Amino acid sequence: MKIRILLASNAFVVSGIALATVAFLLFTSNAIVASNQKAELVNAAKEALFRRIVLRDEYLVHRGEYDRQRLLEALPVLASRLEGAKAAFTQGDDAGILKAMRGNESAVTSIYRKLFAIDARAATAGRARYLLDEYERRLLSQLLIRSYRLNDDATNLERNQISRSDLLRRRFEYILMAGSILTVVFVVVNGSMARGSISRGFERVLRGTREIGGGNLGYRLEADRVDEMGELAGEINSMASKLMLTVRNLEREAEQRKAAEEQVLGLIASLEERVKARTAELASANRELEAFAYSISHDLKAPLRSIEGFSRMVLEDYDERLDDEGKRLLGVILDSAARLDTLISDILSLSRIGRIEITLSRVDMRSMAEAAYGETALPGEKEKIIFTLADIPPAFCDPTLIRQVWMNLVSNAVKYTSRSERRVIRIDAEKTETETMYRVADSGAGFNMAYADKLFGIFQRLHAVEEFEGTGVGLAIVKRIMERHGGKVGAEGKVGEGASFWFSLPALHMAGEDSDGNG
């Protein structure tokens, strides 16, 4: 028999015994409750009977109106309680006793009423109440006899209920004890049998698993049993076979992996050498490119100054000989030379940012932003601009480079609001656990967000030079400076409604407020 079937049958039998025991206990308990309720009814009847006996004695002694009235009020109480107990006592001797009590009670009530009538006639006739005639003495004798019978019946009825309650309690205890003993005996006997069967199977499985776990993958357990232990032995044998096959495959894979690792290590070593060589070449190329840009920029400035100087000399010395078209062309040359000079200066600034050594220190960002606005906005413009500067937090950064960031962003805000009817510039900041974001927002020309990714590229402009002057290098400088600080840049805007440019510094740059460092 399988273990689970054995255990299930044991559980079923134990449950049946428990249910049967509980059913008998519930039945007995209900009988005890009913017996207790009957006993309470009998006690209530005896209490009413005892009170009426007391009132009867007082009445027979004094024969007064007060005593008669109290007795008259007590008469229906016993009858009412006996009537209420009628539904509880319907079978056996108890029903007969209760019936006799009700008969005696009815007779007693009738006797009392006859005595009350005699007292009433005696009072009317003026006869002394203590003089009793033969009829009245017979009534009193019948009253005492009926009262004694009522008391005896109540006592017998109470004794029957006490005996029945004791019998039911003993039965309850016997049933509980018998159910417990039967359950324990069955559990012990069947548990011993099941434990012996299971223990032997576990010992066999334990020996086999120890052999297999010790490395003897060729060991096989005996799987002759038809219960779960036999199934477990078969599964362990199957697992051992699969494990042996897996170990052999792993050994082959380990050999192949070792050969592959040796090959990869060789490739890595070769790749590292190539990367070092390429890195050195790239660094050299960058240095040469920066040096070339710097040299070209410087070389361009000399002829550019000559062009500008000679053009200005011609314009001044030959002003009377030149017509309006000649003067216009010379003006175009001067403006183009000035823009080219600015462009060359910006390119030089951009190339120097990659080589400059960063010095980190605590920077009052609010004062620096306010100074940038003071330098870029002309006095006449300040009267037309609504400028708002929030209480922005300080930063830990390079003051020279961050000043260039503020100058470029604030000057752009002043420039692109120049054609707006209402010129508004607001500078604020937002601080989080990881970074602090500084923002310059304006109500200027704005831009199309479809081209937002081009804003920070070199020579990228979204507005014509005739609309707003510039070289397209300023925002590229801002981006390069933020990259040197490990920060980020971004912008949002809408055509005709303004733009918002922001840059952020990591929390690392906010930690050293009282110390300086190099990076």
For 347-380, the pLDDT digits (tens) are 666 566 666 777 888 899 999 999 999 988 888 8
Phi/psi at 371 (nearest 5 deg)?
Answer: -65, -40
**How high is the pLDDT of residue 148?**
84
- Side-by-side strand order, sheet with 359-363: 395-397, 359-363, 517-518
Cα–Cα distance for residue pair 91/19, rounded to 1 Å:
30
Instruction: Report how far Cα 60 is from the mean position of its chain's Cα atoms.
Output: 84
Assess contact for 425 and 387: CB atoms under 8 A.
Answer: yes
CA-based R_g, the chain, Å: 59
Give dist(CA 38, CA 94) in Å, integer: 10
Span 476-497, average pLDDT? 87
Residue 53 pLDDT exceeds 50: yes
- Name the more confident of 372 and 189: 372
Q: How far is CA 304 from CA 298, 301, 307, in A?
A: 10, 5, 5
- Predicted pLDDT at 512: 47
pLDDT of residue 174: 84
pLDDT score for 427: 94
- Reported as a pLDDT band with limits 50, 70 and 90, residue 195 is low
Query: What is the DSSP secondary structure assignment for residue 452, as one 8-state letter?
Result: G
Reply yes or no on whether the pLDDT at 503 is more than 90: yes
SS3 annotation, 378-401: CHHHHCCEEEEECCCCCEEECHHH
Q: What is residue 442's predicted lDDT score, i.e. its pLDDT? A: 92
End-to-end CA distance of the chain: 80
- On the 0-12 / 13-18 / 19+ scale of CB atoms within 10 A, 426 is middle
Task: For residue range 463-473, list pLDDT tens digits in order.
Answer: 555 555 656 67
Residue 509 has pLDDT above 50, yes or no: no
Taking only the tens place, the pLDDT of each residue in 304-338 is: 677 777 777 777 777 777 787 877 777 777 766 66
pLDDT at 373: 92
- Over range 149-167, report the average pLDDT: 82
Residue 9 CB coordination number (10 Å)? 12
Which pLDDT band, with edges at 50, 70 and 90, does 389 fall under?
A: very high
Q: Is 112 helix (H, G, I), strand (E, B) or coil?
A: helix
The token duo for 491 is: 């912008």
Residue range 170-188, pLDDT digits in tens: 888 888 888 888 888 877 7
Measured between alpha carbons, how far is 256 from 243 in angstroms, rounded to an integer?
20
Average pLDDT, the chain: 78
Measured CA to CA, the distance from residue 61 to residue 245 in angstroms comes to: 114
For 440, other C-beta atoms within 10 Å of its C-beta total 24
Category of 64 on φ-ψ map: left (φ > 0), alpha (ψ -120 to 50) or beta? beta
